[in-house]
Chains A and B, each alone.
Chain A
Amino acid sequence: MAHSTVGVIFSNIHDENIPELSRHRTMASVPFGGRYRLIDFALSNMVNSGITTVGIVTKNNYQSLIDHLGSGKDWDLARKDGGIILLPPYSDETDKPYTTRLEALMGITGFLNHRSEDYVVISDCDGISHMDIGDIVRYHEAQGADITMVYHEEIEPCESSYFITLQPDETGRITGLKINPSRLKAGKKYNLYVNVMVMSREFLINTIQDAVTRGFSSFGRDILTKNVDTLKIYGYNFKGYYAGVNSMEDYFRHSMELLRREVRDEIFGNRDIYTKVRDSAPSKYLDGAVVKNSLISDGCVIEGTVENCILFRGVKVGKGSVVRNSVIMQDNVIGENVSLDCVITDKNVVIRDRKTLAGCETLPYFVSKGRML
């Protein structure tokens, strides 16, 4: 059934959630989990559900995304028919590139028209989960829904700049839908929409065309909230682990959650997460290395102490250095006798001998790409 579904991934939406990490890249290409980019989780969910065509909507800063995706072969998405199809913004002299999700969808109607799949699954890149898209499409079909929105029950109020909560009735039909509701109570359960949505392709195309003629601009306000009584909008309760990246604090917290076995089992167990292959050598642990409760990617060379950390590919940790509670991205070089605690370093950072950097769990110290300290 998932063979009859085409994927659409929004690579830029939510960039503002973690401006430090998305300054030079899309949300989709934000590194996560040692050797992945956020888009790998959304893409792998689709590929593992049998989807073979994924349109990727981009807007700006997408060089790193193109570099990451290449031909799509690492996701088994280098296909004669379909595969990965990049959808950069379309504009001519009179138009500006899109500013809303609905305008972006208007810009890809050509792509949607040319496909033959029955269903479209639309996903953003701000979530890390193991989601079977096939289950959601089957649910959508069984309910005879116009739109199925995936939600996750969250206790923590959402800090995102833009979020939607859903009120389903006992059949799953959404009877109330709020955009950016205020006065959320801590400790109370909310059904947070996780930015994954299923529609029939035909319904989506008709909806977009209708929105164009009426001059709508917001998918949330003009289509979802206005039509909650007339459209059959259903909620799919995703009960698995879901990590939404809505802030740097979230990013840090969810990175550290990967150190828990049950989280790793759910995200990585029984299936593959596809990512770009780099042909790094296996990581090396030298005499004197002390590594505890950490995820270490390929190409690392460790001579110091690493505790409660996520090390991306090709990180060097020198003798006498102690790195704790930190996320160290690709090709960082950490010299000797360095001390790091609650630090997030972007790619290609060099930290010279005897430096000390520390943040705290709610405010990790961030070092931007390519800096030398």
Chain B
Amino acid sequence: MLRKKECVAMLLAGGQGSRLYALTNNIAKPAVAFGAKYRIIDFPLSNCINSGIDTVGVLTQYEPLELNEYIGNGQPWDLDRAFGGVHILSPYQAKKKSSWYEGTANAIYQNMYFMKKYDPDYILILSGDHIYKMNYAEMLRAHKATGADCTIAAIEVPMKEASRFGILNTNPDGSIYQFEEKPKQPKSNLASMGIYIFTAKKLFRYLEADDANPDSSKDFGKDVLPAMLNAGEKMFSYRFKGYWKDVGTISSLWESNMDLLGRDPVFDVGSPDWKIHSRNPLAPPEYIGPTGVVENSMVALGCEIEGTVENSVLASNVVVEAGATVRDAVIMAGSVVKAGATVEYSILDENVVVEENAVVGESKEKNAGIAVLGRSIRIAANAKVAGGQILDKDYKGE
């Protein structure tokens, strides 16, 4: 018997994440740090391995270097396999033509050879933009049970936000009769999560047709899914109930980090039944000093805390010196908050230095917005960064 994989996952990780501003200046959105030790892509990758899917193509395009390095050979997710495993799929130069990925569907189309190598029955399409825990194996079971050609994972969203999503209008049995991309007047609040399972042969056929169609924008939501529906293919929704958060904006990234805190968190990354795997920092245990105060926070290895930390998420090797205060903040790896400085309602990227007595951000209650400090920048002593300000260069302030 030839070796094959029943289901191959294709993870779209080329997104720029332009609404994360300074945080994605040099990295793709899926590589953005989250939850003190994770990156966004850890969630779909962990979901894959926890669901028994061990063959994953990761499609990269925008600023791929850090993401490539992070994924490496896939060992942290147990995705280093002799047959299968995780593979980075970048746009490449072919004999006849070479092109960037022009849309989500085109990105998958250009990697047809990769998928076909595993002779899969099903293709799972994922994106690297969301924080969630989901058993794709259950979705695949539903896909088989309904005999669908395409199954779209869907979640109920508040009606007033529905026009931001691709909305599925479904029959009582879950079959989809209409697909509306960002409708002005949504008929339902069932939003597509951008997670699709296709019966492989059908997908390949529609991708080829889509590629041949000069009027197509080569996008799943806009072109491929409507084309399948119009042709009368069996399309079903798969209801997902649970935590699912797009962390594509500064405020949603901040909120999602805060959702991890507390004894009964909104979203629990620590539950042993669905482990989130990641590349682990090589760092000693964190040290909380005699003057340190840490409450309602998540703190990663290697931190040194002599100051006060409240309602915050601190990634590895963050230093908070004595007399410094960090409140309602997300601080990524290696950043330093020096003595007497205050960081409030902010997101600090990696290796930021906030010098003595500087003030970053304003109290959350003032509604001035979240201050954002880009990677490796330095805030001078006594400088003041206003709430909501976004900086990607050193700042001397007032």
Contact = CB atoms under 8 A, between A and B. Distances in A.
Contact of A33 (B76, B285, B286, B299): B285
Interface string A286-307: 1111111111111101010000
Given A33-B285, A293-B288, A282 B295 contact: no
B67 interface: no
A35 B37 contact: no
B301 A285 contact: no
B172 interface: no
B27 interface: no
A13 to B, nearest CB: 26
Main secondary structure of the interface of A (DSSP, over half): loop
Contacts of A335: none
B133 interface: no
B277 A283 contact: no
Contacts of A295: 284-287
B209 to A, nearest CB: 42
A101 interface: no
Interface string B281-293: 0111111111111
Interface in A4-50: 33-35
Interface in B297-321: 297-301, 309, 315
A34 B284 CA distance: 8
A79 interface: no
Contacts of A281: 35, 37, 269-270, 276, 298
Contact of B282 (A274, A284, A286, A290): A274
What does DSSP make chain B's interface, helix, strand, loop or mixed?
loop
B294 interface: yes
B278 interface: yes
- Size range of the chain A interface in the assembly: 35 or more
A268 interface: yes
B288 A291 contact: yes
B28 to A, nearest CB: 23
B52 to A, nearest CB: 18
B263 to A, nearest CB: 5
A293 B290 contact: yes
A284 B298 contact: yes
Scoring B276, B291, B299 by chain A CB atoms within 10 A of each residue's CB, the highest score goes to: B299
A93 to B, nearest CB: 39
A272 interface: yes
Nearest to B278: A279
Contacts of A303: 263
A277 interface: yes
Contacts of B200: none
A330 to B, nearest CB: 12
B276 A283 contact: no
B225 interface: no
A35 B300 CA distance: 13
A371 to B, nearest CB: 22
Contact of B286 (A279, A283, A286): A283
Contacts of B278: 279
Interface in B246-279: 260-263, 269-270, 275-278
Given A287-B295, A289-B295, A268 B35 contact: no
B393 to A, nearest CB: 29
A273 interface: yes
Nearest to B275: A279
A282 B35 contact: yes
A73 B72 CA distance: 14
A274 B280 CA distance: 11
A73 to B, nearest CB: 7
A66 to B, nearest CB: 19
A294 B305 CA distance: 10
Interface of B: 35-37, 75-76, 260-263, 269-270, 275-278, 280, 282-301, 309, 315
Interface of A: 33-35, 73, 259, 264, 267-268, 272-274, 277, 279-299, 301, 303, 310-311
Given A267-B284, A285-B294, A291-B288, 16 more contacts: A35-B285, A273-B282, A279-B275, A279-B278, A279-B280, A281-B269, A281-B276, A281-B298, A283-B298, A284-B298, A287-B295, A288-B295, A292-B290, A296-B287, A299-B270, A301-B270
Query: Top 5 nearest A-B pairs by Cβ distance?
Result: A34-B285, A281-B270, A282-B36, A272-B282, A297-B285
11 contacts: A33-B284, A273-B282, A281-B270, A282-B300, A284-B261, A286-B295, A287-B262, A289-B295, A295-B284, A299-B270, A301-B263
